Amino acid sequence: MSSSAPRQKVAVVTGASSGIGYAITRQLAKHNYQVYACARRLEPIETLVDEFSTTLIKPYKLDVSSMEDIIKFKNFLSETLREGKLDVLYNNAGQSCTFPALDVTDAMVEQCFKVNVFGHINMCRELAQFLINAKGTIVFTGSTAGVISFPFGSIYSASKAAIHQYARGLHLELKPFGVRVINAVTGGVSTNIADTRPLPQDSIYNFEEGQEAFKARQLMAKNNRPMSADVYAEKLMNDILSSRDPLDVYRGTMSSILSWVSLIVPYCVLEWGLVKKFKLEKVFAVLKKKDVKKD
């Protein structure tokens, strides 16, 4: 009597239409995973379908900020997953928010947290049983911004710090079920996530020196020799295939160095370094002069 064919491993990747998500989807397919490549825009994923076929790449339209979309996806997987098993959930969908702390609107904050925090939490909760069934792996695209709050990035940093802590709790709570949780503390990676929105007209930083500093911050990743998304994905694929259970892995340009700096350098010194790095001395000088004139 012949035995049934072995079950093909299955992965879900969010934010799969570009950058890290696209590269991770490609790596998983190379390792013969059937990948549900989830994104709001499916057209860019068609090139992966052409490369690997519809057997391995399954595009799925999903907005992680929509609870309705997530529930529909869960129901879809309930009907399609063999033995109800999901081997990898890669929470990669991301929303940038590079804006001065006093200029962010409620809508900006809400959208950033809906995608970077609530979306991942909701995906984990709703798909948890599939991962438990497979003793699978959950991965988050964390960030060095969740460790060091860079200027003009307080909201993005707050969202990444939140998901880092969620990953820590999840890592502990899923241990009894044999589910691994990996938080990829990500440094510079060449993607198109950079925020290009200009300063508001009424921003306190809307003057020549402030605009220059703001622009430099927007180009931070691009100007610091970011790792290619393909190289990053290869490294993360090794983490997924490994039997280790480290929680935090440091991938991307400067990720390990910046994380160590945050641990050992006093914050006053770190803050001084951020002022120097982003050339904020001139900005602060202008603001102090304006404050004096105002008084």
pLDDT tens-digit profile of 241-272? 999 999 999 999 999 999 999 999 999 999 99
Would you state the pLDDT for residue 1? 42
Of 90, 114, 160, 255, the catalytic one is: 160
Asked about 33 being catalytic, the answer comes back as no
Q: Name the active-site residue from 36, 60, 90, 156.
A: 156
Confidence of residue 285 (pLDDT cuts 50, 70, 90): very high
The better pLDDT of the pair 26, 293 is held by 26
Q: What is the pLDDT of residues 116-157, one digit of tens each?
A: 999 999 999 999 999 999 999 999 999 999 999 999 999 999
Domains of the chain: residue spans and CATH: 10-294 (3.40.50.720)
Rounded-to-integer distance, Cα 49 and Cα 117, Å: 29
Is the C-alpha dihedral spanning 260, 261, 262, 266 positive or negative? positive
Q: What is the pLDDT of residue 54?
A: 87
The tens digit of pLDDT for each residue in 32-73 reads 999 999 999 999 999 999 999 888 999 999 999 999 999 999
The encoded tokens of residue 22 equal 């696209």
- Taking the CA atoms of residue 144, residue 90, residue 180 and residue 54 in that order, the dihedral angle to the nearest 10 degrees is -150
Q: What is the pLDDT of residues 91-103, one digit of tens each?
A: 999 999 999 999 9
Q: Is 17 a catalytic residue?
A: yes
Place of tokens 């064919």: 5
Residue 289 pLDDT > 50: yes
Residue 59 structure tokens: 């595009």
Is 215's pLDDT higher than 50?
Answer: yes
Is 205 among the residues known to form the active site?
Answer: no
CA atoms of 60 and 28, how far apart (whole Å)? 16
285 burial (CB, 10 Å; 0-12 / 13-18 / 19+) is exposed
The reply to whether the predicted model has a pTM over 0.85 is yes
For range 212-220, the mean pLDDT: 86
